[in-house]
Amino acid sequence: MRSDKARLTSLQISFMVILFEIGSTPLFLLGSKAKQDSWLAMTAGSIVGFLLLLVFLWIQSRFPESAWMEILTKSFGTIAGSGFGGIYCLYFAYQSMRNVRDFGELSKLTLLPKSPMFLTMLIFVATGAYAVWKGAGVFFRLPELLLPIMFVVYCSLIALLLIMGSADINNLTPVLEHGIVPVISTVIPDIVSFPFGQMLVFLMVWSLWEKRGVPVKSTLTGYIIVSLFLIFMNILNMAILGPVIASTSQLPFLRSIRTLSHFLLIEKLDIFVTILLYLGLLVKMTLFFFCAVQGVAYLAKSSHKGWVIPVGGLIYAASFIEKDYTRHLAIGLGPSLKVDVFFQVVVPLLALLLLLVRGRKRSPSRGKS
């Protein structure tokens, strides 16, 4: 699928991997069920996610010029592959919707409590729609602009927390107090599904690389960097807040920053944290939006621009289905993670097996010829 003629650089792909994986992750303390061992769960989850990423890269290497929708038809056949493709379009739109709702609720809780949520969410979707309409060439320049800025801000905030904060390494002990079972049960499917398994979306992106083949090095580099960052942030939040507060806080990093409020000169740092969360949500929402539009355009054999408004309208409307934020979180961190396994693990592994079987059938025939 080459409906978007843009070509992406290795740096753009690497930066997008980092920003996408950060995304809405700071909104939650992943692995909170494991209490003070949540960082171990994050580490194990990133390793399992790395193995899953290798599967995605191998699948892409078989069809370096094709995006996921086309790979599905080549793996499962035209009819079944198109059916899977349509379901994946809905899945990408659903994930985009979740980020839209997260943005609306975050705005209401922090910087814009008096602004109507329907308006802030509409502006958010419209911003993403514009980036999707302009195409990958424009959208993927966004991480090149945002990531250096976010890097400086994150480093500054982390430095302040380490120097002036109340981090206590004892909050991370005792290690494996309740054994390894709580850690494993948290890793699968929770942490693998969110955020590491979501690397699946890059099967819609890798075919746009400017060089031949698959951008393995840039993808793995970005993944390793962001995995280490997320593990470190988990350790930092746990060390500052402790397992009880950290596991129940909706915005653990923001809660950690607010422990510095007794310093008069930096009492408004939560504004910077909120903006960081906004930017992460914007990138993640837009990439899912982009994949949904590109997928529909491929299946309909038409330009992606004609599908931006319909898909955007669907995403916006669906973001109001859940009545309140509590229900939104309960679904997103519960049943939704179980369903993710089908899209992130089951279907890719089935495609992998089919490709391996077909490869073996062709090998003998080539030998006889």
Q: With beta carbons less than 8 A apart as the criterion, state whether 147 and 19 touch.
A: yes
- Report the C-alpha gap between 331 and 335 in whole angstroms: 6
Amino acid 316: pLDDT:
98
Residue 361 lies in a domain: no
Region 324-342 average pLDDT: 89
- Report the C-alpha gap between 332 and 338 in whole angstroms: 10
Amino acid 32: pLDDT:
86
Structure tokens at 236: 């930092």
Residue 358 lies in a domain: no
Structure tokens at 39: 């960082």
What percentage of the chain reaches a pLDDT higher than 90? 71
Domain holding 340: CATH number?
A: 1.10.4160.10
For every residue of 163-183, DSSP letters joined together read HHS---GGGG-STTTT-SHHH
- Residue 365 scores a pLDDT above 70: no
pLDDT in tens, 68-96: 999 999 999 999 999 999 999 999 999 99
pLDDT in tens, 29-44: 888 889 999 999 999 9
pLDDT in tens, 10-66: 999 999 999 999 988 877 888 888 999 999 999 999 999 999 999 999 999 999 999
User: Per-residue b/e over 312-329, b at no fewer than 16 CB within 10 Å?
Assistant: bebbbebbeebeebeebb
What is the number of domains present in the chain?
Answer: 1
- Report the C-alpha gap between 195 and 208 in whole angstroms: 23
Amino acid 287: pLDDT:
98
Which amino acid belongs to residue 28?
A: F
Residue 301 lies in a domain: yes
Q: Is the dihedral of CA 101, 102, 107, 110 positive or negative?
A: positive
Amino acid 369: pLDDT:
39
Beta carbons within 10 angstroms of residue 356's beta carbon: 12
Among 31, 27, 42, 101, smallest CA distance to 249 is for 27
Region 87-112 average pLDDT: 94
- Residue 176 pLDDT level (bands cut at 50, 70, 90): very high
Region 174-201 average pLDDT: 92
Residue 3 lies in a domain: no
Strand spans (E) along 144-234? none
Q: With beta carbons less than 8 A apart as the criterion, state whether 296 and 97 touch.
A: no
Residue 153 lies in a domain: yes
Q: What is the residue range of 223's domain?
A: 10-346
Amino acid 333: pLDDT:
80
Amino acid 265: pLDDT:
55
- Residue 353 scores a pLDDT above 80: yes
Residue 362 lies in a domain: no
What percentage of the chain reaches a pLDDT higher than 70? 94
Region 119-137 average pLDDT: 96
- Residue 223 scores a pLDDT above 60: yes
